[in-house]
Amino acid sequence: RFHTMVGVGSAALFATLSWCATRSGAGVQCEGSALERLLRGRFCEEALGAPICPEKFFAYLDVRLSLWSVAFPSCSTFTPTMYGDVLNEFAIMASTDVKSDADYDVGALLLRFENTTSRDPAWSSLADDRMCSVECMSRRRDSGSIRVASLSVQCPTDDNIANMLPLSSCAAAEASLMLHPEGRTVADGESEKEGAMCDWSEAPH
């Protein structure tokens, strides 16, 4: 199934986003940032498209001041996790502001891959090379679910973050993940997990 980031009417919101902070020693400092308004907390991740161990959530995301940490339960049919649970860690380098309409809130983060416990060469190489990505996010007001599309980018220097990627590119991206807030029943009609509880007691430890 093709999952667009936002409805046609709100796609223009991405074109109005701007980078509002860069990472310093204390993390991202930005009042009203996407990090603060959309993502601070814990979520269950659902992989969109081809099912990956559909009997459980794909991963468990914990977002803190400057760290995006994802715990993946083992899945014998998914190469990076076929040997056991995996933890991936990303530094949050920058955040945009948030733009909203009646139905959606949109924003983006810049991440840098820091570490993985996976034996998979592809994931290990991304972590070793400290690869960067822009995570385009669109939250539905009615369900609270967040669609995420990931765009690979060169890691910028602090003085060129604002020009590194036209954020309007987010509107045309295909979402690969859906995030569901911890402790809530999935209420998104496009989710294969509709009706399931995001229960963090099931996350790998």
Residue 3 confidence (pLDDT) above 80: no
DSSP of 20-87, one letter per residue? EEEEETTEE--TT-HIIIIISEEEEEEE-SS-SSTTS-SEEEEE-SSEEEEEE---TTSGGGTTS-EE
Residue 30 confidence (pLDDT) above 70: no
What gap in Å lies between CA 200 and CA 78, rounded to an integer? 21
Share of the chain above pLDDT 70, in %: 85
Residue 26 confidence (pLDDT) above 60: no
For 158-194, write each residue's pLDDT tens digit: 666 656 666 888 888 889 999 999 999 999 988 999 9
Q: Is 108 helix (H, G, I), strand (E, B) or coil?
A: strand
What gap in Å lies between CA 37 and CA 141, rounded to an integer? 12
What is the C-alpha end-to-end distance of the chain, expressed in Å? Answer: 32
For 136-147, write each residue's pLDDT tens digit: 999 998 899 999
Average of pLDDT values for 9-34?
69
For 77-108, write each residue's pLDDT tens digit: 999 999 999 999 999 888 899 999 888 999 99
Share of the chain above pLDDT 90, in %: 49
